[in-house]
Amino acid sequence: MWTGMRTGMWFDSGRVCLDLLATDGPEGAGSGCREGTRDGLRDGLRDGDALRLWLVGAGLVPDQTPLGRLGPDWVEAFHSLRHDVGTLVRAELAGTGPEEEALARVNAAAAGPPPGVCAVRNQEGHLVRELCGGVECAGMLAAVARDAVELLTDPGDLALIRSCEGDGCGRLYLDTSRGRRRRWCSSELCGNRERVARHRRRVREVAGT
């Protein structure tokens, strides 16, 4: 699911940890786009409000779960995890060997208890999901770090990781398409941009004949 150019958030990479990488710019651990690039996009986790949107969008926090203020410490913690996960994934893809310090930090985050889920009654009397005991930063980090550990230790999923072919993108995703022919992180964004560029080239070629 692509959530829009101005948010810097996409949730169609196939793994939560890769969705986290997608909030960063092309020069960072992920491959979204930063403010100042051609599309004027910003870091998807630039503040607590943006992080709140990402946690809900990524499915880590059920819609009914109340979220308090997410301070700068939350943002810094997720930035650090994003950097470490990106370092590890790209090292695996490049075959450059383990990044021990980054691996130790991700393992430490993954070792923490993830948030528990419970069923509660809403105002209409229906059962809905909430996180038991509230939302804590360590639990959220643990959920994403565990997903990264699972990805890094799964040869099958590692073999499916692709880098978007869109100009200036490079976002990572799992190619689970039929025939493994997916080329772009988002057909609506990079795919559409490539189709427009291809059309313009054909128009120029025709005009030049």
Digit-coded pLDDT (tens) for 90-126: 999 999 877 899 999 999 999 999 888 889 898 899 9
Helices H / strands E in the chain, number of each: 7, 4
The domains of the chain, with CATH numbers, are: 16-208 (1.10.3300.10)
Between residues 149 and 204, the one the model is more confident about: 149
pTM recorded for the entire structure: 0.80
Q: Which amino acid is at 104?
A: A
Report the percentage of the chain scoring pLDDT > 90.
49
pLDDT value of position 85: 97
- Identify the band that residue 133 occupies on the pLDDT scale cut at 50, 70 and 90: confident
In this predicted structure, the answer to whether residue 201 has a pLDDT above a threshold of 80 is no
Alpha-carbon torsion angle 44, 138, 70, 63, nearest 10: 80
pLDDT value of position 65: 77
Q: d(Cα 35, Cα 41) in Å, to the nearest integer?
A: 4
Averaged confidence pLDDT in the chain: 82
**Least confident among 27-36, 155-164, 176-185:** 27-36
Q: What is the DSSP letter of 26?
A: T
In this predicted structure, the answer to whether residue 28 has a pLDDT above a threshold of 80 is no
Closest listed residue to residue 46, CA positions, set 76, 18, 2, 82: 76
> Taking a C-beta distance cutoff of 8 angstroms, is the pair 184, 166 a contact?
yes
Q: What's the pLDDT tens digit per position in 164-192?
A: 988 778 889 999 988 888 877 876 668 56
pLDDT value of position 197: 59
- Identify the band that residue 36 occupies on the pLDDT scale cut at 50, 70 and 90: very low
- Identify the band that residue 134 occupies on the pLDDT scale cut at 50, 70 and 90: confident
Mean pLDDT of 139-166: 95
Q: How many residues does the structure list for the chain?
A: 209
